Structure 1
Amino acid sequence: MKLNVKNETSRLRAVVLGSAVNNGPTPTVEEAYDPKSLEHILAGTYPVESDMINEMEAFHAVFKKYNVTVYRPEMIENYNQIFSRDIGFVIDDVFIKANILPDRNRELDAIQYIIDQIDPNKVVRPPDTVHIEGGDVMLWNDYVFIGTYKGSDYKDYITARTNMEGVEFIRNLFPHKIVKEFDLVKSKLEARDNALHLDCCFQPVGINKGIIYKSGFREESDYMYLVNLFGKENLFHITREEMYRMNSNVFSIAPDVVVSERNFTRLNTWLREQGFTVEELPYAEIAKQEGLLRCSTLPLIRD
């Protein structure tokens, strides 16, 4: 398999879509990876497996509609395998295995059959000191945008998933790219103030547009970098509540086709006004785990 991913929006040809089958029991409070899951565990509203399977199958159906080749992870019993974005990502023609939370290493084993189809010289595993997850890595042609957390208390935050060593690793691996890191706001307790990954507060759509949440960035200069690059008129600014609902975590199948959650009324209206075809899905149950459409995908080939 010859990989090719240079941005977030070119026509998609092959993707890994996660799976909610045999997802396991509701996690305990101690097992929660993020404040939004914790909130729903405590409230008794954590999503049930059948609802999540239905949501993911609706996503799968959209991929079939657009003739995208879809790979699924091999099933691991009683194990959450929904968020395939976290476990690896492609830049140009290179597959990078993510150094994820140790509890989740088995998720990589479940897609090994796909990795085995790639030229071994094009598969990279960073050293252990490098923390990086796919939700923090966003391609924009010559640019690689990377979410990180620069606080001295990085190690105290389970919600801090990509460190500066991760940024430097990508910078060294792709010296011809402009690698720009963004210092993200993190919270262990309040999901409305936690940008778990970069795609929780920013994502490009189309050729020159994007969705952005200003308060997801610790430094205003990082937010202004994107405003200057894209143009303020090309950015759809979401509210704190819309960020919490994961409005920036949509997924592009093509420059003019965006898959979005059906409840994102304001965003979906704006997308259509900009000329996009919007494929609306139910995904509100999966969103309770602080992940949405982009988080569930690992693109392998785009035109």
Structure 2
Amino acid sequence: MIKLNINNEFSRLREVVLGTAKSNGPIPLLKDAYDPKSAEHIKAGTYPKDEDMVAEMDAVAAVFEKYNVKVYRPKQIENYNQIFSRDIAFVIGDKLIKANILPDREKEIEAIHHVINQINPENIIQFSEDVHVEGGDVMPYGDYIFVGTYYGDDYASYITARTNMQAVEALQDLFPNKKVKSFSLNKSNTIAEDNALHLDCCFQPIGKGKCIIHKEGFTEIAEYKWLVDFFGNENCFHINKREMYHMNSNIFSISEDVIISEKNFTRLNTWLRSQGFIVEEVPYAEISKQEGLLRCTTMPLIRD
């Protein structure tokens, strides 16, 4: 049995699901793109190739092996995008919550049944259909659960709005002893630099009381300021629009001290090392063309 345990983003990782890019399928038609960044690369003819993304994910798997982390991979479905395992489910405490994701992606959860079958069925949660939630928007942080959402009445018009206020309420009901704090994110169906697809595209807590944050990802300045006050401005690494576009906040912590980051994030990686972190650099620029990075491709199951 897998005894789930996740209470933050950075305690020592023991077991994780890492997506796969082995048979990602043909380049999508422009009308089928899920986000503006993918659309940009479809138009430009620079959409990532499977073999390049497989090599990138293998580099991450090698880092996990180095730190003795048990890695589960999805069963391969031919011609199907299974890269972003964080979207399909996420763990808080000892509960695995299945995401109500875009209907086109339902097969993804079936491909990790060999993992889910090792979890106590009482700890597997599926919200009702009106509750939209994806793991990239949900971050446990001790007594808090931070949740990215979108407050606008035009929620339904954004393919990039993935977590609704019903999810915020459902999480609060499921975890009555935690404070669920929601943040409204800026969304764009057409301009990647203006689109915070998930909360982890513009914010992530890391070890040592630090975080990475992008002010323009938030629709409510008061909510952005709340986070800066909560962590303390001196503990926040502020990223600009271009860094947000390249997904600088979407790194992944193996422990309080060890972070996997993209090798091109020069400014961020320099800062992380100056703060005492060990930075394991990997190539992930091809994966990022689909508007996701290291946190999106991993779904932690057990942290100490």
Asked if Structure 1 and Structure 2 have the same fold, meaning a TM-score greater than 0.5 normalized by the shorter chain, the answer is yes
Could you say which residue in structure 1 is the equivalent of 2:5? 4
- Count, aligned residues: 303
Aligned partners of 1:23 and 1:79 also within 8 Å: yes
Aligned to 2:215: 214
Aligned partner of 1:285 in structure 2 is 286
Structure 1 counterpart of 2:243:
242
Q: Which residue does 2:201 correspond to in 1?
A: 200
Counterparts of 2:206 and 2:279 in 1: how far apart (Å)? 11
Tell me the CA shift for residue 266 of structure 1: 0.1
Identity of aligned residues (%): 65
Distance apart, 1:112 and its partner CA:
1.1
- Determine whether 1:123 maps to 2:108: no
Deviations 1:73-120 (A, max 9, x none): 001000000000000000000000000000000000001111110001
State whether structure 2 residue 254 is matched by structure 1 residue 253.
yes
**Aligned pair 1:93/2:94, yes or no?**
yes
Which AA in structure 1 matches 2:175?
F
For residues 31 and 114 of structure 2, the distance between their equivalents in structure 1, rounded to whole angstroms, comes to: 32
For the 8 Å contact 1:160–1:186, the answer to whether it is kept is: yes
Verify the 8 A CA contact 1:9 1:207 in the aligned structure 2. Answer: no
| Structure 2 spans left out of the alignment, 5+ residues | none
SS of 2:159's equivalent in the other structure is coil
1:57-206 matched pairs, under 5 angstroms: 57-206=58-207
CA distance in structure 2 between the aligned counterparts of 1:281 and 1:154, rounded to whole angstroms: 35
Residue by residue, what CA displacement relative to the aligned partner does 1:5-55 show, whole Å, maximum 9, x if unpaired? 000000000000000011101111011000000000000000001000000
State the distance in 1 between where 2:266 and 2:179 align: 34
- Please name the residue that 2:300 is paired with: 299
Show the 5 A alignment for 1:255-274: 255-274=256-275
> Residues 115-137 of structure 1, C-alpha deviation per residue, up to 9 Å, x if partnerless?
11000100000000000000000
Give 1:207 shift: 2.8
Q: CA deviation at 1:228?
A: 1.1
- Structure 1 residues not aligned, in runs of 5+: none
Q: For 1:57-78, what per-residue CA distance to the aligned partner results, in whole angstroms no more than 9, with x for missing partners?
A: 0000000000000000001000
Moved over 6 A (4+): none
AA paired with 1:39?
A: E
Quote the Cα distance in structure 2 between the aligned partners of 1:264 and 1:139.
25
- 1:100 & 1:59 partners in 2: Cα distance? 25
Partner of 2:51: 50
Q: What is the RMSD computed on CA atoms of the aligned residues?
A: 0.4
Partner secondary structure for residue 176 of structure 2: coil
Q: Deviations over 1:236-258 (max 9, x none)?
A: 00000000000000000000000
Q: What letter corresponds to residue 28 of structure 1 in structure 2?
A: L
Aligned to 1:90, what secondary structure does the other structure show?
A: strand
Alpha-carbon distance in structure 2 between the residues aligned to 1:268 and 1:156: 36
CA distance in 2, matches of 1:196, 1:253: 23
- 2:254 alignment partner, SS class: strand
TM-score, with normalisation over the residues of structure 2?
0.99
